[in-house]
Amino acid sequence: MRKTGPGGLALLAALLLAAPAATQPLAEASAEDVAHGKRIFDIHCSRCHGLDGVGGEGPNLMRENLRRSVEDDALIEIVDDGIAGTDMPGHGSLNTREIRNVAAYVRSLGVAPREELPGDPVAGKELYDMTLCSTCHITNGEGIALGPDLSDVGLLRGSVFLKESIQDPPKVVNPRYRTVLVETADSRTVMGVRTGEDTFTIQMIDEAGRHRSFRKSDLREFQLLTDESMMMSYADFTDAELNDLVAYLMTLRGPEGGSE
Amino acid sequence: MTTRRLVGIAILITLTAAPALAQVSYSRLLNADDEADAWLMYSGNYKSERFSRLDQINKENVSRLRPAWIYQTGTTGRVEVTPLVADGVMYIAEPPSTIAALDATTGRRLWRYDPIIPDETLNIGFPRTNRGIAILGDTLYFGTLDARLIALDRTHGDVRWETQIADNAVGYAVTAAPLAVDGKVIVGISGGEAGVRGFLDAYDAETGELAWRWWSVPAEGEPGNDTWGGDSWKTGGGATWLTGSYDPDLGLLYWPIGNPAPDWNGDSRPGDNLYTDSLVALDVNTGEMQWYFQYTPHDVHDWDANQIPVLVDAEWEGSMRKLVIHANRNAFYYVLDRETGQFLRATQYATQTWAERIDENGRPVRVPNMEPSEEGTLVWPSLAGSTNWYSPAYDPGRMSLFVPTREMSSIYFKSEAEYEPGTPFLGGGERRPDADETYGAVRALDALTGELKWEFKQLTPAVSGVMATAGGVVFSGTQEGNLFALDADTGEALWDFYVGGGVRAAPMSFALNGQQFVSIAAGQSIFTFALSPGAEAGGNDD
């Protein structure tokens, strides 16, 4: 079996091809396993994915096709290791059985009925363009990246979370989008979004979208705005306007329009 | 033909006539402080001060520090070694367990020895790396990820002997630098997160034969075994994964001991779990334990004691005492008598929420309900502790201990733990709380009182060791990739340099032909700095 001739490769290929059908191990989970999984979900996952997985800071998991976790093995791996470069964390504190059971619970969630949103997505899109949201956000390749790319935000976030993000930006600002205010030695103030920082220097994109870099010891003042995000100025939308914006944002589901 | 023969003879003559590299005798190791140009052991001397007696680089000129050379290992793993320098040659370890000799003047490689670590070698709970080497005579000693101890001839890197010290298949490994003493090599093991039973070994430096083994978890019938429930001692952890210190006058080794296993679920191991989370004093000739002091009895947060113990002789309440000082992972700084193990003082040096105080015997009085739980329990400090294996530095003149510090909390979870050989044996873990209020610092503590003299804040919790120097300059690094120099009296930053990779090692210093160098491993490289000749230009470094 250690031999790696063409025969071995063919065998390997056959094994790989056969794998998907052979590995849906979560189907064998017992009702007890799933109940145990729900307990773990409530503690470790619901703060992002919402109770019962309806979505929030993390995507709705009550969908037919989870984009990244069609296979059970992929699902287990995501829960275990997280998704690099996203807010989905690994769960090193859970043991193998706990991870399997919480994954089995995710599989058992089924499909949520399509959410009825009160707003009008067409009016929402107009508002989005009018209010120049794209001076800070990219949708489908257009705009400036001072804030997160919104191209598939409708898949990644729940509607309640989106509404809150606009109306009442989170108290704990995502460290990837911290707002920085500096005053240089010659008394110029520059505001922007932090793109890099170490103990001695800071890098940012300023309001004009330009890259800037400073030594902290050269600055007269240097401030990370902790409880304010760039979104602060949108608190005064009417409820109807907010609903329209959210309805529009929920249609943003990536290049292929995503899959429900 | 003739020419060839002549050349051959000439080479032969050169080889036999060339003075072999000077011997690094035991007496050179004993008197390492008198040989400031060299760096002969992991922490610089047997007291583990990590204090260079060189003073060419000082507070006034350190801003002129520039790279002298950079050596790239070409590996992808983490380089975490403290280099050794003896007689113009630098010895380093590359991940996972490769040894290289460099010309210390230029950084050019002289030879490299790769013991070939099989891919399937386990590293449960630590990176695939090697933190250092010991030198004695003309031999280098180092451990491997697959738990071998190897002796290399230091001129060419040829193997003198090799000993398998434990079985990697159940999780044993060596990442720490061995400690060479008179005729013996002391080496500790990693693997506590796999539920190995810890030990410390001494090998005959000439032959590689085992001289003694001291088990860190007592077996049935031995004193201390009753601090473990049932058979839990067999998988009790207590790894010895960081180099200890040595007092040649007392003939005692001071070795810090790792956490009990499983880490976060203590149900199966009721009791204090001796000698985990302890400092032990062992007779260097026999391995017999003279005393122990346990910092964190029945630990359920993975706050092992694998931090460097520093030996200090100082006046204590009116008379000279032989002390050992230890900034522990559990957020307290300890002063002990190193002859008897008597507890003298504990001072909190970082934020903690688990202990109300340390009582007069050195035992923590615990805050209730701080154990990991199924729903999660918020506790300071975090799993990685208030400090960790990153070396502190001790300045004997200022009597300051410079401690790399972490200000961070964790939500600790508990889950079932089932022992299966060669797999993680943890019983839980941590999650970072959402609010991002973590930071790091170098803290200067008064060695006798543990009081804070100053701190230098870092953006992120410390992961780098510290070195102090007779020039009044303290060196350390950051996770983000900065190397920096501080004023030993005030903590003011005097110099910094971005190396482009996390600094997860400790600095050292040496001199060649009258020039002082500072070296540190960062990212995948070794960086070596010296003062730029530009003299008075000085001032800011950019």
Nearest CA in chain B to A91: B431
Instruction: For chain B, give every domain's residue range.
Output: 3-536
Give contacts of A172 with chain B, Cβ < 8 Å: 434-436
Q: What average pLDDT score do residues B41-50 get?
A: 98
What confidence score (pLDDT) does residue B534 get?
62
Name the average pLDDT for chain B: 94
Distance CA B263, CA B424 (A): 10
Query: Is the model's pLDDT at A14 over the cut of 70?
Result: no
Using a CB–CB cutoff of 8 Å, tell me whether B496 touches chain A: yes
The residue with greater pLDDT, B8 or A33, is: A33
Of the CA atoms within 13 Å of residue A33, those in its CB half-sphere come to 19
- Neighbouring CB atoms inside 10 A of A129's CB total 11
Closest Cα of chain B to A256: distance in Å? 33
The 8-class DSSP code of residue B137 comes to B
To the question of domain A19-109 being in CATH 1.10.760.10, the answer is yes
Closest Cα of chain B to A158: distance in Å? 19
Give contacts of B498 with chain A, Cβ < 8 Å: 198, 200-201
Per the CB < 8 A criterion, the answer to whether A192 and A180 are in contact is yes
User: If residue A9 lies in a helix (H) or strand (E), which one and from where to where?
Assistant: helix A6-22
What confidence score (pLDDT) does residue B189 get?
98
What confidence score (pLDDT) does residue A22 get?
40
Nearest CA in chain B to A93: B429
Predicted confidence band of residue B537 (pLDDT cuts 50, 70, 90): very low
The residue with greater pLDDT, B198 or A68, is: B198
Residue B523 burial (10 A CB sphere; 0-12, 13-18, 19+): middle
Using a CB–CB cutoff of 8 Å, tell me whether B541 touches chain A: no
What confidence score (pLDDT) does residue B281 get?
98
Instruction: For chain A, give every domain's residue range.
Output: 19-109, 121-167+232-257, 179-224
Query: Is the model's pLDDT at B261 over the cut of 50?
Result: yes
Q: Name B317's bridge partners.
A: none
Predicted confidence band of residue B503 (pLDDT cuts 50, 70, 90): very high
Query: Is the model's pLDDT at B92 over the cut of 70?
Result: yes
Length of chain B: 542
CA proximity to B77, closest of B98, B99, B96: B96
Query: Is the model's pLDDT at A40 over the cut of 50?
Result: yes
Contact A43 B375 (CB under 8 A): yes
Give contacts of A201 with chain B, Cβ < 8 Å: 498
At B189, list the tokens. Answer: 């093991």
Predicted confidence band of residue A210 (pLDDT cuts 50, 70, 90): confident
What confidence score (pLDDT) does residue B277 get?
98
Of A89, A95, A197, Cβ closest to residue B415 = A95
What confidence score (pLDDT) does residue A228 get?
61
Name every residue whose Cβ is closer than 8 Å to that of residue A227 and which is 6 or more positions away in sequence. A171, A173
Q: What average pLDDT score do residues B434-445 get?
A: 87
Residue A31 burial (10 A CB sphere; 0-12, 13-18, 19+): exposed
- Tell me: the pLDDT tens digits for B522-535? 999 999 999 998 65
The dihedral sign for the CA sequence B334, B337, B340, B343: negative
Q: What percent of chain A has pLDDT over 70?
A: 83
Of A91, A172, A198, Cβ closest to residue B481 = A198
Alpha carbon of B243 to those of B42, B432, B457, B511: distances in Å? 8, 29, 27, 24
Fold type of domain B3-536: Methanol Dehydrogenase; Chain A (2.140.10)
Residue B17 burial (10 A CB sphere; 0-12, 13-18, 19+): exposed
Distance CA A33, CA A26 (A): 10
Predicted confidence band of residue A145 (pLDDT cuts 50, 70, 90): confident
CA proximity to B303, closest of B234, B337, B252, B352: B352
Tell me the catalytic residues of B: 302
> CATH: 3.10.350, 2.60.40, 3.40.50, 2.30.30. Which one for A179-224?
2.30.30
Closest Cα of chain A to B192: distance in Å? 16
Using a CB–CB cutoff of 8 Å, tell me whether B376 touches chain A: yes
CA proximity to B50, closest of B507, B516, B464, B522: B507
Give contacts of A43 with chain B, Cβ < 8 Å: 374-376
Query: Is the model's pLDDT at B45 over the cut of 80?
Result: yes
- Same CATH topology for A121-167+232-257 and A179-224: the answer is no
Residue B317 burial (10 A CB sphere; 0-12, 13-18, 19+): exposed
- Mutation target to probe the B interface, by most B beta carbons within 10 A, among A47, A80, A177, A199 is A199
The residue with greater pLDDT, A119 or A110, is: A119
Q: What average pLDDT score do residues B63-91 get?
A: 96
Query: Is the model's pLDDT at A35 over the cut of 70?
Result: yes
- Tell me: the pLDDT tens digits for B129-145? 999 999 999 999 999 99
Query: Is the model's pLDDT at A123 over the cut of 50?
Result: yes
Query: Is the model's pLDDT at B236 over the cut of 70?
Result: yes
Per the CB < 8 A criterion, the answer to whether B263 and B329 are in contact is no
What confidence score (pLDDT) does residue A57 get?
84
Give contacts of B484 with chain A, Cβ < 8 Å: 199-200
- Tell me: the pLDDT tens digits for B165-221? 999 999 999 999 999 999 999 999 999 999 999 999 999 999 999 999 999 999 999
Q: What average pLDDT score do residues B418-427 get?
A: 92
Of A92, A197, A198, Cβ closest to residue B429 = A92
Chain A to chain B Cβ contacts (< 8 Å) = 57
Q: What average pLDDT score do residues A3-18 get?
A: 37
Contact B496 A95 (CB under 8 A): no
Q: What average pLDDT score do residues A7-24 get?
A: 41
> Letter for the amino acid at A70?
V
* Matching residue, tokens 């997280």: A82
**CA B351 to chain CA mean position, Å:** 23
- Tell me: the pLDDT tens digits for B290-330? 999 999 999 999 999 999 999 999 999 999 999 999 999 99
Alpha carbon of A214 to those of A147, A204, A222: distances in Å? 21, 9, 10
CATH architecture of A121-167+232-257: Orthogonal Bundle (1.10)
Predicted confidence band of residue A166 (pLDDT cuts 50, 70, 90): confident
